[in-house]
Amino acid sequence: MPSPFASWPLSPDLLQDLSKVMTPTGVADYIALTLLSMVSATYLSRGILWDQPDPYNYLWYERPQLKMGGAAGANARQETRNIAQKLEEAEKNVVVFWGSQSGTAEGFAHRLAREIALRFRQGTMTADLSDYDPETIAQIPPSKLAIFILSTYGEGDPSDNTAEFWDWINKAQDVSLANVRYCAFGLGNSNYKFYNRVVDVVAQALDRRGAQSLLPVGRANDAEGATQEDFISWKDDLFTMCKDHLGFAEGEVQYLPTMAVEEDESLEPIDLHHGEPDVRETTKASAQCSPVRPVTIASARELFEASDRHCLHMDLDLSSVPEFTYKTGDHLAIWPSNPDAEVERLLQVLGLAARRDIPISIKSLDAATKVRVPTPTTAAALLRYYLEVCAPVNRDHVLGLAQFAPTPEAKTYLLQLGQDKATYANFINRTHVNLGRLLQLAAPDTPWSALPLSYLVETLAPIQPRYYSISSSSVLAPRKPSITAIVSTTPVPENPEELVHGVTSNYLLALSENRRDATHPHGLTYHLNGPSDALQGGQVFAHLRKSKFKLPRVGSCPLIMVAAGTGLAPFRAFISERRQLQQIGRDVGEMILFFGCRRPDEDYIYRDELAELQAALGDRLRIVTAFSRQAGTPRQYVQDRIAECGNDVIRLLDEGANLYICGRAGMARDVEKTVGQAMQQTKGWSASQWNDWSKAFKKRGKWQEDVWG
């Protein structure tokens, strides 16, 4: 349609008048025109010169379950988040909820659900707590049974995938759970102050809202190495309750697969997962973690002087991964592969060596059961990259394997080993037994051709990343984070010549040795180039995880840092960053570092660096050491040195210091006890006053811990 102004006549007089009006006549007019031109240019260049969209912004809004994309992602989008509706649709009577940080609670949940289904023929499903809206738990009818398996880590914290449920169960008002019948089991460690706090708080909250507990809360204690046996004992009580109270009829336990693993030679290599990490399961808190990417190892060096112990410092290069950014105190996760010897052992014993690279497709036979590993793939990739094949076999699995024994003698061997707790405990004290080794021991010269791959997929835990505290400052090395990893090699208690090798740390050691054309000191080999040579040139699959273990915003805030062993890693970064502040003329608060190790000439890591930092910082940094195995001197631990320096510790706390602890949980517990005793003695406080003060201090983020085990 033509413009209504198109027919207007533009006479010469009109044009002359317009020219007079639009011609600048003074300074103000020129300024106005200049500003108008700048505004116009700025607006027109939007999205070209400025305000460009972040190409990685979408990562922060993805649900981790949808990251895989394709069919899996589409299916996940269509699934209901109402657990009561899901139970009805899937025709399930029992749901096993899990909250897991390292994968143990998740493994227990799948194991329990499978056994309930086989033993009692009850429709049973597992449920990741982050996959369902917590308020829908109230809609579960009284004819169903809810089971909660929940881990506690850190300072009594819930796992990442439990966060939404945790907030709801503790804060929801006017919620009735009178319809809900439940049982609960917790995983914890008594070395931590808040042992099994999560399951206790959840059970109390359920009870307050009217839920009916059918069994006393079960608790596993990893400090005593009793997690597996604690779970088995509680599970036996649960099964007794199911028979006596719920009237479940117990039948003969026979293996009924929930997954089908089928060879499919029509698939092309491009269709397969060759070992890349399963991004669907990277994390249940996508806002806290980056995606998984290949990252280059820039350099690696040994930190220990001892020839029989190894500790690695590794610098990583993020140049090829622009979406990776970290802050001082964050964690870096390494995705390992299993050693060649264990992969080959299983392929041979299962009779799959000749068909290791044939494509296999893994499908769920139950709508409520998710496939926990990438598919399609191959048997070799499955055993090398996706399943924890080096983990010890628990008694339940020993008994479960007996039904697939290739000989009567093998079946008898497994039944005798698995049926008696004392016999099994004595056995694992004499030898390290993972799945492959156990199968070889039970039937030395006979392949286990009747043991289906589906059973391994269902019973073995998916391989998990291992997290390391970043030991570099993001201010000094924003694109080169470093990690500090002690290499785990533990002798079997009653057979010191037999060693148990930590999966990830020995994988890193092999990578480090390969950089200088050397071999692993114990002869372990790995496929270091990774799946489809994706890690060629010295790379690892890794991702970053945000941490709350942070320096105070104010550089003048005093610091008290307590570390043992590789717990020193984040404090290396803290002190380096404080030194940088000092160099640019900023005021730096007083710092005390308490550090403990065995001997000063063996495992005092970063000793020369710390000496240089101490010399540069002068009276701003004091380093107090404790050596537990130094010849000619009594054993000392960091808590002993804190007791000796109690006055200085309390003075700094009074001056507003932040206190940080990094290392084993048992050490952290002893440090807190020592600080508490010093505060009570100096200030004349009662135990109650100390507890009130420490709770408030931690709530303000002034007392932070990064601890494990």
What is the band of 620 on the pLDDT scale with cuts at 50, 70, 90? very high
Task: Write the secondary structure of 384-450 as one string of H (helix), E (strand) and C (coil).
Answer: HHHECCCCECCHHHHHHHHHHCCCHHHHHHHHHHHHCHHHHHHHHHHCCCEHHHHHHHHCCCCCCCC
Q: What is the pLDDT of residue 8?
A: 44
Sign of CA dihedral 465, 469, 472, 474: positive
Q: What is the pLDDT of residue 46?
A: 52
Please compute the mean of the pLDDT values over residues 145-161 and round it to a whole number: 90
Backbone angles phi, psi at 545, to 5 degrees: -130, 130
Q: Which residue has the tokens 């089971």?
A: 147
Whether the per-residue pLDDT at 64 is higher than 50: the answer is no
Locate 87 and state its tokens.
């139970």
SS3 content of the chain, % helix, strand, coil (to 5): 40, 20, 40
Whether the per-residue pLDDT at 63 is higher than 60: the answer is no
* 354-394 pLDDT tens trace: 999 999 999 999 888 889 999 999 999 999 999 999 999 99
Please indicate whether residue 660 or residue 75 has the higher confidence score (pLDDT): 660
Domains belonging to the chain, first-starting first, are 81-244 (3.40.50.360), 559-708 (3.40.50.80)
The DSSP symbol for 382 reads: I
Distance between CA atoms of 518 and 206, rounded to whole angstroms?
57
Backbone angles phi, psi at 102, to 5 degrees: -105, -5
Whether the per-residue pLDDT at 328 is higher than 70: the answer is yes
The single-letter code of the amino acid at 9 is P
What angle (nearest 5°) sits at the alpha carbon of residue 104, between those of residues 100 and 108?
A: 100
What is the band of 16 on the pLDDT scale with cuts at 50, 70, 90? low
Q: What is the pLDDT of residue 569?
A: 98
Q: What is the pLDDT of residue 153?
A: 81
Distance between CA atoms of 464 and 282, rounded to whole angstroms?
8
What is the band of 71 on the pLDDT scale with cuts at 50, 70, 90? very low
Please compute the mean of the pLDDT values over residues 556-581 and round it to a whole number: 98
Cβ within 8 Å of residue 187, ≥6 positions away: 104, 105, 108, 149, 150, 151, 152, 196, 199, 220, 222, 227
What is the band of 43 on the pLDDT scale with cuts at 50, 70, 90? low
C-beta separation of 124 from 132 below 8 A: no
Q: What is the pLDDT of residue 306?
A: 78
**Full-model pTM:** 0.84
Among 157, 148, 233, CA closest to 183:
148
Backbone angles phi, psi at 620, to 5 degrees: -80, -20
Locate 671 and state its tokens.
């440090």
What is the band of 199 on the pLDDT scale with cuts at 50, 70, 90? very high
Buried-state track 167-194, b at ≥16 Cβ within 10 A, e below 16 = ebbeeeeebebebbbbbbbbbbbebbeb
Among 574, 564, 565, CA closest to 657:
574
Q: Which residues pair with 126 in a beta bridge?
A: 96
Whether the per-residue pLDDT at 177 is higher than 60: the answer is yes
What is the band of 625 on the pLDDT scale with cuts at 50, 70, 90? very high
Whether the per-residue pLDDT at 62 is higher than 80: the answer is no
